[in-house]
Chains A and B, each alone.
Chain A
Amino acid sequence: MPAIQAPLLAIEGLRVRVGDREVLSGVDLMIAEGETHVLLGPNGSGKTTLLNTILGMPGYEVLGGDIRFRGASILRLSIDERARLGIGIAFQRPPAVRGVRLRQVMVAAAGGELADDDVSRISDELELDTMLDRDVNMGFSGGEAKRSEMGQLLAQKPALSLFDEPESGVDLDNIAVVGGAIQHLLRGASASDPRRGGLIITHTGHILKYVTADVGHVLYEGTIACKGNPLDLIGDITRQGYEKCVECATCRQ
């Protein structure tokens, strides 16, 4: 390992416009290899905008700052180039694609080849059996959609995974399954498995019952207002709300 290793993800001074509104006005966020971070923030604070900008989705115009992945800027790369570099996402509300099956997308996510054994293993873990040969997200329930997203990520095994509200619209049983898979993906299923980076958007923190997170961030009015222990932050927010939380001593430092 080199003495000085570039962080997995380094976001510096990122300013992003969506339509005619500047949604992110100077975001700094750094995730080292193997770390799991949590992104908190009220509705409309720019959390999904941040994820979509990392992915390279059209419509998110970068006005300033940079996003570097393992030291190199990715701003000029297309969505698929970023994915192949090692950035993956579990969408909150993925679109249905008629005629394209979940199994096909998993194979594509794995780079075009995925052994049947691997498909079975992922399918068993996430109970995807009845969904593999259905059109992806077509008529999937909330829980099925989340499990399908996780299945695709487990097939892709990206170095950095983004999760957009993995627990929203999902019952407790499904949260446990999805949470277990996130933990397994990020922390490694076995000792030989590397730890991978993760950034999780959560409102409730329920997912943290299953996933060990290292750092929490509060995105407030387009900037990171606070950084700290994720469980402490969620506790503060639950007690006092976001407005009070970002005024506290830690955040003002």
Chain B
Amino acid sequence: MQTVETQIAVENASPTTLERLAEIQRLAEAAAEKPAALGPDVDVSAFRTVSEQQHIESLESLDKQVRETVLMSGFTADESERSASYFQMDRTPIYERVAEAFGGAIEIMGTEDALRRYPDEMAEKWWWRAVAPDKDKYTALVALHQTEGYFIRVKAGQKVEKPIQACLFISESNVSQNLHNVIVVEDGAEANVITGCNISHGVKEGLHAGISEFYVGKNASLTFTMVHNWDKEFSVRPRTAVVVDDDGVYINNYVLLRPVRSIQAFPVARLEGVRSRAVFNTIVTGLEDSVIDLGTETQLIGEGSRSEAIARTVSRDHSVVYSRGRLIAKTNNCKAHLDCRGIVQSENSTQWAIPDLASEGAPGAELSHEAAISPIAAEEVYYLMSRGVPKDEAVSMITRGFLNLEIPGLPPALRARIDDAIAEASRESM
């Protein structure tokens, strides 16, 4: 049996796969010190990797406090409204289950398991195919010291209405969780994935580095919702790329309503297929000393591709928020729009709105953007007051409305939780 020195012991792989895995290793090693283009630098050597944990038989056996924490990101221990669940505690996928009704439709497991089971298919199609292992030190960290992540595959033609849920949980301080997630929605399939990233109460410093590579097949659709619940000492560096095939649809919803030390992410949707489509909805509140640098990039490659990216940011306290949006047209017949609006609610907070449009040899491409940073208009507050609404409630109503994007595909319970969190954030702003 041939072996190659990689982090994950892979057996039964073809020589091509082993070579590819070795190449990934080499690329990552060379980039181990490479700073990211954006965001404050994080000293990755300051953290040890997360520990192993025990498997559990049922989500109900999770600690009550853990269950309550993850509920905030839409993850529920009551699986009746979910088609599949994945729960990773620190280093270990402690629970993975597909509901009986969806047995033939969904595969869900840790990515190391997936790599062992399907080494050639993974390496050839998905594993580090959308995100480069040598992009920066964070991708390198994951390539060299991976601590699982989820693999979700929805089989061709399967329309899975109930959400698939994944939770990535950190229970320790001073650790880094280095995840590599892969979602494959095969041709003609539909899926709604809700991911929550959470940390235990009392967890102090840490790093969450996460590679996510999603593949949306022909005529397939993926709605991906991520709710982040971090804390003020936590650094977060997701690296996400999504490839969408002909007539495929990718909808990305991202919600950050809690403080974080710093987060920097710039997910990319590559609309390679004809008539493929991407939608990004981003809701961010900058709190305390958070440094938040979030963007979305859409590459319009396939003929007739379309995209829309909407971001709403409210910043308070001493937070710094960058709201970026990039559209790159590479085909003549494409159309995309960016809409980023921000409200700065503190004299110590800073916001940047940075729309960025490029047409690369695509004279017929239609790209547009609206970016605005402005306060809540006094006349709007007076208007609601004239209906009997007290001033603080009027401001809160307007802030809530501002953040309250119409997000498709959200389960009502998660919608309600997001509404609550927004209401809470809006109230605190008074």
Please state if B401 and A109 are interface contacts (CB–CB under 8 Å).
Answer: no
Q: Chain B interface residue count: which class?
A: 20 to 34
CB B301 to nearest CB in A, in angstroms, measures 33
Cross-chain contact B382 with A100 (CB below 8 angstroms): no
Q: In angstroms, how far is the closest chain B Cβ from the Cβ of A89?
A: 6
Minimum C-beta distance from B411 to chain A (A): 20
Using A95-B380, A97-B380 as known contacts, say yes or no to A78 and B385 having CB atoms under 8 A apart. yes
Taking a contact as CB atoms under 8 Å apart, the answer to whether B387 and A98 are in contact is no
Binds A, one of B2-10, B228-236, B328-336, B389-397: B389-397
Whether a CB of chain A sits under 8 angstroms from the CB of B377 is yes
In the bound assembly, the distance between CA atoms of A26 and B404 in angstroms comes to 46
Report yes or no: B386 in contact with A83, Cβ–Cβ below 8 A: yes
Q: Mark A98-114, 1 if CB is under 8 A from B, else 0.
A: 11110011001101000
Q: Which residue of A lies closest to B388 (CB)?
A: A83
B391 touches A105 (CB 8 A): no
Q: B388 contacts A100, CB within 8 Å?
A: no
Report Cα–Cα, A242/B340, bound state, in Å.
Answer: 50
Instruction: Give every chain A residue within 8 A of B379 (Cβ-Cβ).
Output: 95
| A98: contacting residue among B388, B390, B394, B401, CB under 8 A | B401
Minimal Cβ-Cβ distance residue in A for B379: A95
Give the CA-CA distance A89 to B398 in the complex, in Å.
20
Interface assignment of A94: CB less than 8 Å from any CB of chain B: yes
Chain A neighbourhood of B397, CB < 8 A: 100, 104, 108
Q: Describe B's contact surface by its main secondary structure.
A: helix
On whether the beta carbons of A97 and B401 are closer than 8 Å, the reply is yes
Contacts of B404 in A (CB 8 A): 99
**How far does the alpha carbon of A156 sit from the alpha carbon of B387 in the complex, in Å?**
7
Contact of B387 among A57, A95, A96, A109 (CB under 8 A): A109
A100 to B379, CA, bound (A): 14
Residues on the A chain within 8 Å of B391, using CB:
78, 80
How far apart sit A104 and B400, CA to CA, in the bound complex (Å)?
Answer: 12
In the complex, per-residue mask of A62-101: 1 if CB is within 8 Å of any chain B CB, else 0: 0000000000000000111001100011010011111111
How many Å lie between the Cα of A111 and that of B390 in the bound state?
A: 11
* Interface positions of A from 151 to 208, Cβ below 8 Å from B: 152, 156
Chain A residues whose CB sits within 8 angstroms of the CB of B385 once the complex forms: 78-80, 83
- Sorted nearest first, the 6 A-B pairs with minimum C-beta distance are A99-B401, A83-B388, A109-B387, A79-B385, A100-B401, A80-B385
User: Which B residues fall within an 8 A CB radius of A?
Assistant: 377-380, 382-391, 394, 397-398, 400-404
Between-chain CB contacts (< 8 Å), 16 pairs: A58-B382, A79-B382, A80-B385, A80-B388, A80-B389, A80-B390, A83-B386, A95-B377, A95-B379, A95-B380, A97-B383, A97-B401, A98-B402, A99-B400, A99-B401, A100-B398
